[in-house]
Structure 1
Amino acid sequence: MNTLAQLKAGQLAGAMRLDLACGLTEFPREIFDLADSLEILNLTGNALSSLPDDLHRLTHLRVLFCSDNAFTELPQCLGQCAQLSMIGFKANQISQVPAAALPPLLRWLILTDNRISQLPDELGQRPLLQKLMLAGNQLTHLPPSLAQCQNLELIRIASNRLTHLPQWLLTLPSLTWLAYAGNPVEMAVQVSSDEATPNIAWQELEMGEVLGEGASGIIRKALWKPRALPVAVKLYKGTITSDGSPLHEMQACIAAGLHPNLIKVEGRVVGHPDNQAALVMELIDPSYRNLAALPSLASCTRDVYEPDTRFSLDVALRMARGIASVAAHLHRHGITHGDLYGHNILWNAAGDCLLGDFGAASFHATADTLETRALQRIEVRAFGVLLGELLERAEASDERLQALQQRCCQPDVLARPGFEEIEVLLESMQHH
């Protein structure tokens, strides 16, 4: 984090990135002194409601974060910024998104947790658009022009007011990660009842250290006293995340049921002193680790792997089969995961793997309709991307796996195989 004093004293000359969070109510003009070098500007967590009209003087600016401020309109000056490709205005009070605010190279737009009820049609005229985060707004429809966005891979529209998913959305050739929970269209689906999930009293749990923290909550180690069983407890935050509502995530986790490649849910917590929602989960063996890290600003929609990550072809095949199997299981239960990614997979050296993080999961009808099939085949593309990443890091190549990977990623959504077929194919390969 930089300070205003450093900026004003000219100590940040030549900086490519500037992070300022110090209660700013107006844009410090001294930022323009960095115009020759500044590429990333992070003004998250201030009290700004406007940006200067001459913002385009920051000619190298590629990334701008202004989340947790007081904007009511996406600033029109953004549209004049020639190099600007990533914009983040999460958790403001934005209700207006003018067409003029959309820069020509726009690739990644984050407007999560605002008050937006409609978006300009010009959004579809941004051919590089790849990632669109709109969860927690008041949208009743999406601009039909988005049908032109051939590169759109990730879209988050959870917790809005959409009554149906538009036909064009289900045919986008690159769409891979879709989250739409908490809309009327999704809530109309009958979710299988979860009476089988036991309630676990808060008093029965003895909390230990924090194991991890994500957008939707904190995971702590705990002892489930009556059973003398070490467990993990996920305590959910109530706020909207970039994927949607943490409570939808909890519902999907429970509805997913049991599968060898899922982390087992032991029960839901009742009687938390602050009424916080929480789940008790099986504690994962420490030999498991994350397959990949989250996408970076540069990789946008692609996970970042440790440079030395390598597997035998057998281990890669085993992981692919495990993930295909659990995805088929979820689809049979009317759940799309929405975030099928290496960073949500835990694996060990033997190739055992677990799919976690249901933050972007959505429910769909279990009947075999064209809509259901398309929703499932969108997720198949995510599996295709993952399979490609595994094959790139495998020590040997396999033509059948390469061919399957291409089928999973082909642009014609309904021509992709379903997970049942993928699972059978992978099983036949594993035995030969």
Structure 2
Amino acid sequence: MEEASLAVRRARRANATTLDLNGRGLTEIPSAVFDLEKLQHLDLSNNSISFISPQIRNLKHLEVLKLDNNLITSIPDEVMGLPNLKELSTEGNPFLKATSALSQSRLRGPSTSHADSGDASGLGLGPSLRPSTAQPDGGVAFGRRGGPSFSAGGGGGAAGMGVGAAPAGVGGPSWLAAGGPGGEVSRLKDESSGDKSSSSSSRGGEAKVPSFSFKDIQLGKIIAQGGFSVVHEGTYRGCRVAVKSIFDPKVTQDLIDEMTREIVALQKVRHPFVVQIYAACRTPPKLAILLEFLPRGTLFDLLHGGPKQRVDLSREVTMRIALQVACALEHIHSVGLVHRDVKSHNVLFGSDMTAKLADFGLSHPIEGPVPSMEFAGTASYMAPELLFRRPPIKEKTDTFAFGVLLWELVTGEIPHDGLDVEAIRGKADSGAPLPLSGVLSGDLKRLISKCWSVDPGSRPSMSEVVETLERLA
């Protein structure tokens, strides 16, 4: 299969009216596509695209646009405004309820819209709400007189993923400049079987994670490092990736289990607000996974980094980040998993500043035996039942950690900064581990306090947290 970039170049040279990029492992629409102003038929189906750039308005002659089986959560006005568009297919995408309705004379049925927040902080993070309810036949039909026929599947595949976001353009400081990595192509293919990358849609089961060989990787700089693993920026078959590998010379069974847990969890969790896995190397001593490259750093950096990293977040942006992380956790729990390491270091940002939850090395099923590393984690975010090794209600440990993360987002402070584990343990078991004086909203105070309940059964589910945040956003 030819590279998508090559297909685009050929189309440009030939002034083509048709371009087929079906199943190319794309995570975004290559920017060069928007220069093909004579295009009439564009097929982008079966990729992992989550964002449609407003530049699509350049394709004024486009008549057919196929977006089936991607991660798209909202159709921007620029698509619906294309003057010659007659057919728009979007089956198998996790659509959201509208946040700004399109004109009912132009689009009948539940509207979906892409809105630029235009907030003062310069972070244009798209709205993050619940998906529209599918009709009994598994789809939602839309249409407009003289315009495109529009079908959104509500059945299997990506449509069942839950919630997603439509990130808007990013303004503000130069490091938050709008746009992604310049139309890169992520065509990650299984060397042995020729399967599409694991980020592609998988009907009727979990996506298969292909294998890769280190001879195909060009490692760049280190972008993160933990106790037993290191993450490099890298290039794999022409696309940017993050390469997470075990660097401990003694590969223990615990390390193998941790890597396996992350692979299993990420192939099960396919969601716009969760980092995507592309491939894995499972042959000791070279244990590694290829992950989606997220160039904008961590939430910890955004809140607590140096002058070039730290940004003062508006309330609107703060709530959107909180809602995106909450939606990710809601979905993770819905597929029967607990994350178990929710913290600002593990919330990463893509080029469009969409928040994505990462690091599933401590994740485990809600049902089943307690894994050997159950009590590992970061003390500042750990629920009292973990700190005191009491029987947990597993998914409610994530709720507690999210409450700490929400406090951190709202106050801009580092939780339990400078305290040792013993001091944190005593605060966590008090029901009020951190001061709420810096939280100005009474509704947010009540939500955070509920998340911090000493009794796990009294904490809200992440679905209830999402509902509350949607109401407050």
TM-score (norm. length: structure 2): 0.41
TM-score (norm. length: structure 1): 0.44
